[in-house]
Structure formats: C-alpha cells, structure tokens
Amino acid sequence: MSTSDPAPRFPDGLLRLLAEAQPRTPRELAVRLGIPVPEVEAGLQGLRQAGLDWRGQAGYILPPEPPPDPVDADAVGAALKDLPQVPQVHALEQVDSTSAWLDRARRQGMRGPVACCTDFQSAGRGRRGRQWRMPPCAGMALSLLWDIRHWPRPDASVTLAAGVALARALEDLGVRGLQLKWPNDLYLDGRKLGGILVEVRAGRDGPDALILGVGINLRLPAHMEVGQPHADLAGAGLDPLPSRSLLAATLIRALEGMLQSYPEPGFAAFLGEWNRRDATRDRPVALSGGDGCTGIARGVDEGGRLCLETDRGLLHIETGEIGLRSRP
C-alpha cells in the first residue's frame, strides 16, 4: 500500500535524529541515514524553511531548544488498547496532510478506525481549502478515519461535537479558558488554538466513511506569522507540556468516544455544553459569503446550525463562517 507524501521536504529519519539532541556533523547524519551528504544538507535546509530553527556550531548540527518531540506510534497505540474499537495508529515523520494520507489509504482498502499523526505536514488544510501552517513538532496534526456505513446519513453536527470532545480532553490535561467558535474552531482566551475539518467519503453504495482532521498549536515560534490572533498550549500555563505522543492519544480517545455516540444520541449529548462554550454567544457577528448578513449570535440548535438573530427574525444557518463585528 503506497500512501507516502508525494513531495517530501527532508529525508525520512532526519527529524528524529535531531530529536535525539546529539551534536552531529552532516556527514555523521548521512552515515546514520545511509544517504549522501548533499541530501542531508538539502534536508536541513528544508527543515529550516519549514520552521525548525536548528543551529550550526563548529561544523555540527544542533537541534533547537527544546528539541523536537516526535510522536511514537507504539506509545500512542499502547495508550488506546482499552478502547471499544482499538484504532490502528500510524505516526509519520512527514506527510502532505494526515487527512489526505488516510483518504489515499481508504481508496486502497483501509477501513476505520485508523488514526494518522505526523510531526510535519506540508499541505495541511482547513475549511474552504485554507492552508494550516505548523512547523515540525510545533503542534499536533492528526486525522481519524471512521466507518459510518451503519449511520442513516452523514451528520454535519459531528464537527461541533468534536469541538466539545477536544475541549474536554484538553481541560483534562490542565488547559483553562477554552471556547468554541462556530462551526469548527477551538479558541483559548479569545485567540485561535486549533481547528477541525470533517470530510465525508463515499463508496459504491453511498457515504461510508468520515475523515476527521484536527490541528492544535502546541508551541509556535514567537516570530511566526499566522494571519490572525493565535494561541498555543505552551502559553496556556501547562508545565510541563504533555508529550506529543500523550497529546495524540488523549485527542484520539476523545474523538473515538464522541463518534461512539453517533448516530444516537448524536449531537444531543453535546448541545448544551457547546452553547456554554460558545465564544460568540450574544455578540454581534457577520456571516461571510452569501449576502453577508449580520446579527446577534444566539448559539446553535439541535442540528448544529447557527442561530442568528437578525432584523429578518431568527435565522438558522447551516454553512458559512462568522466573525465578530463592532457594535453600532
């Protein structure tokens, strides 16, 4: 089964060698990896361009401080052995997108539950095709493939239920100040911490799988430009930060627990908590796209639709995005 990254940024194994925090020359790295020195040097430049600020000193390559923390698939799998449906866990050093990797695997016959985590993804995606940027090991990018052949129909509220499940899991790790923003964002103290992307995939007999992708900022470089106010777990007061393997296992467990509640009772089990965590509740917002209507956000309904109080009455919005606006 071939599902590899079509455009790798660095030789596989290089990031994990840097994570050992041992000074090594490019030649020593090349010997360990069994590749020519120029490939190592090109890979080091690829890692730097991706946002990993390794250091050079007297001909030696040193990792940044703190060093990278790769995900260990065995550790993640061991932490999930008690789940009702134990997922296969794949931890990749690099990939274009964890969701794209799972989709390729699905098309070659793989069935859920399967989790894919990565230390670096070069083409992470958010809603509407937006790129999700995350330097190597600076966050958690993972996706879960889930079988929905027993569901009567795909349910868009899964995105919102996933937000509640992830917020609970992060709070169990000690994070405080978490909120949710319709339809798919995790916020921390008013700034974006992460996002969720749920995609339905169909076979010959109709929809048969969900791919649920998650991106969480763990420790972003201070100089990184994201394009909007952002937060990370390093700024949430966690000391020490959880390992990325522990974080991956915690999030996968939370997502599987949420998905086990579908199709019944479904979002009904998460509705009240979602509304309590709503970052825009009772605040003026503008809906992007369409006629760009404005109003006061009044939470979500039992279908996960945004309740928007406008001069035309209470609207129930199924799709779109909202942004806060100034009060007149």
Active site annotation includes 192: yes
Neighbours of 34 (CB within 10 A): 8
Cα 113 to chain centroid, rounded: 17
Cis peptide before 113 (omega within 30 of 0): yes
Phi then psi for residue 188, to 5 deg, are -130, 115
Q: By the 8 A CB rule, do 183 and 160 touch?
A: yes
Work out the angle at residue 25's Cα, subtended by the Cα atoms of residues 96 and 66, and round it to the nearest 5 degrees. 60
Among residues 16, 111, 127, 191, which one is catalytic?
127
Among residues 133, 192, 253, 305, which one is catalytic?
192
* Look-up of token digits 């309740």: 307
Active site annotation includes 325: yes
Q: Which residues contact 156 (CB under 8 A, 6 or more apart)?
A: 198, 303, 304, 318
Picking from 16, 135, 28, the residue whose alpha carbon sits closest to that of residue 71 is: 16
Q: Which helix (H) or strand (E) holds 186?
A: strand 185-188
Annotated catalytic residues are: 127, 192, 325
